[in-house]
């Protein structure tokens, strides 16, 4: 298991594909991890077949990475910094980016705060920012509050509780971490090519087209017949992402 230190938090990562390939960082969604989000859905296979060097991250609080019990440790900008530190660890100047749901929100912060480290970014399952009420309900359900009557909170709880690797308190802290919506100025200042993609039956990612319209030069792809939980393996998602990424710079990078 490969790990690196990100400001005192040990994070696990995976490398796959040709070392000379254009690197791409894959960042999973909330309650998931690299294997579940990207390996079982055959994204790793699709990208390595396209001669990509895949860099898969288990986010803090997830998978086999360290799981602090402190909401402050999960500030979204801090999690974006984890991506930049991973590139530093691998001695890579930059990479393309693929994120889903939470990973897409992290990717948006990477595009804002570390634009020089990202070539092109595919952000899946991403829509408009919701208020903190939903986050509080999810955290309460993760902590065992069966009185929570919210279908999204229940969906995430059942998804998380089904996997022994998950730490439900860490996930509660993660959803409560500081995650402010990007400002209009931040969105307007993004110069990284961005493609936002979401299922047309995904209420969690509603507003994705509007978000794309606020980022200069970005595009939006609607994934037909898919919701938040089943959009990831969709062939349409893979095909659209690979076509978008084909426009990226072709400089080879080799990890140290």
Tell me the pLDDT tens digit for each residue of 66-107: 999 999 999 999 999 999 999 999 999 999 999 999 999 999
Q: Which tokens is 214 given? A: 């606020």
Report residue 103: phi and psi, to 5°. -65, -30
Residue 220 to residues 26, 106, 110, 216: CA-CA distances in angstroms? 19, 18, 19, 12
Q: Domain 2-129+184-245 class?
A: alpha beta
Percent of the chain surpassing pLDDT 70: 95
Supply 139's token pair.
């955290």
Please, which residues bridge with residue 95 across strands? 118
Q: Is the pLDDT of residue 252 over 50?
A: no
pLDDT surpassing 90 at residue 248: no
Average pLDDT over residues 7-28: 97
Distances, alpha carbon 210 to alpha carbons 97, 140, 213, in Å: 21, 30, 5
Q: Report how far residue 108's alpha carbon sits from residue 249's, in angstroms, rounded to the nearest whole number.
A: 19
* Confidence check: pLDDT of 254 > 50: no
What's the mean pLDDT in 118-137? 89
Q: How far is C-alpha 202 from the geometric centre of its chain's CA atoms? A: 16
DSSP 164-177: TT--HHHHHHHHHS
pLDDT band for 251, please (50, 70, 90 cuts): very low
Are 167 and 246 in contact by the 8 Å Cβ rule? The answer is no
**pLDDT given for residue 131 in this prediction:** 61
As a whole number, mean pLDDT of residues 148-160 equals 95
Strand partners, 121: 97, 194
Mean pLDDT over residues 36-52, rounded?
97
Distance CA 60, CA 10 (A): 8
> How far is the C-alpha of 142 from the C-alpha of 154, rounded, in Å?
9
Domain boundaries, the chain: 2-129+184-245
Q: What is the pLDDT confidence band of residue 12, given thresholds at 50, 70 and 90?
A: very high
Whole-number Å distance between alpha carbons of 128 and 237: 19
Q: Is pLDDT of 165 > 60?
A: yes
Q: So what's the pLDDT on residue 247?
A: 82
Residue 130: the pLDDT is: 66
Which residues, listed in sequence order, are joined to residue 24 by a DSSP beta bridge? Answer: 54, 96
Cβ distance 156 to 141 under 8 Å?
Answer: yes
What is the token pair recorded at 123? 């952000």
Confirm if 193 and 218 have CB atoms less than 8 A apart: yes
Q: Is 19 exposed, middle or buried (0-12, 13-18, 19+ CB in 10 A)?
A: exposed
Tell me, what's the pLDDT at 250?
Answer: 39
Q: Stretch 29-40: mean pLDDT, rounded?
A: 97
Indicate the pLDDT class of residue 249, thresholds 50, 70 and 90. very low
What is the rounded distance in angstroms from the CA atom of residue 185 to the CA atom of residue 183?
5
């Amino acid at each position: 298991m490969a790990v690196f230190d990100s400001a005192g938090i040990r994070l696990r990562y995976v490398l796959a594909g040709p070392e000379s390939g254009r690197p791409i960082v894959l960042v999973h969604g909330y309650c998931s991890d690299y294997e579940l989000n990207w390996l079982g859905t055959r994204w790793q296979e699709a990208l390595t077949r396209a001669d990509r060097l895949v860099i898969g991250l288990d986010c803090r609080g997830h998978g086999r990475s360290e799981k602090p019990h402190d909401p402050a440790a999960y500030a979204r900008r801090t999690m974006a910094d984890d991506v930049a530190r991973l590139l530093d660890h691998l001695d890579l100047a930059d990479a393309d980016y693929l994120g889903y749901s939470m990973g897409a929100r992290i990717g948006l912060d990477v595009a804002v705060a570390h634009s020089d480290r990202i070539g092109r970014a595919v952000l899946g399952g991403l829509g408009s920012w919701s208020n903190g009420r939903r986050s509080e309900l999810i955290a309460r359900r993760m902590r065992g509050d069966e009185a929570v009557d919210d279908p999204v909170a229940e969906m995430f709880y059942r998804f998380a509780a089904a996997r022994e690797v998950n730490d439900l308190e860490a996930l509660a802290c993660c959803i409560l971490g500081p995650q402010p919506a990007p400002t209009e100025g931040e969105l307007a200042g993004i110069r990284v090519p961005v493609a936002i993609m979401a299922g047309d039956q995904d209420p969690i990612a509603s507003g994705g087209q509007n978000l794309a319209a606020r980022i200069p030069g970005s595009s939006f792809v609607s994934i037909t017949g898919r919701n938040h939980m089943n959009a990831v393996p969709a062939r349409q998602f893979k095909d659209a992402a690979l076509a978008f990424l084909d426009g990226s710079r072709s400089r080879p990078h080799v990890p140290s």
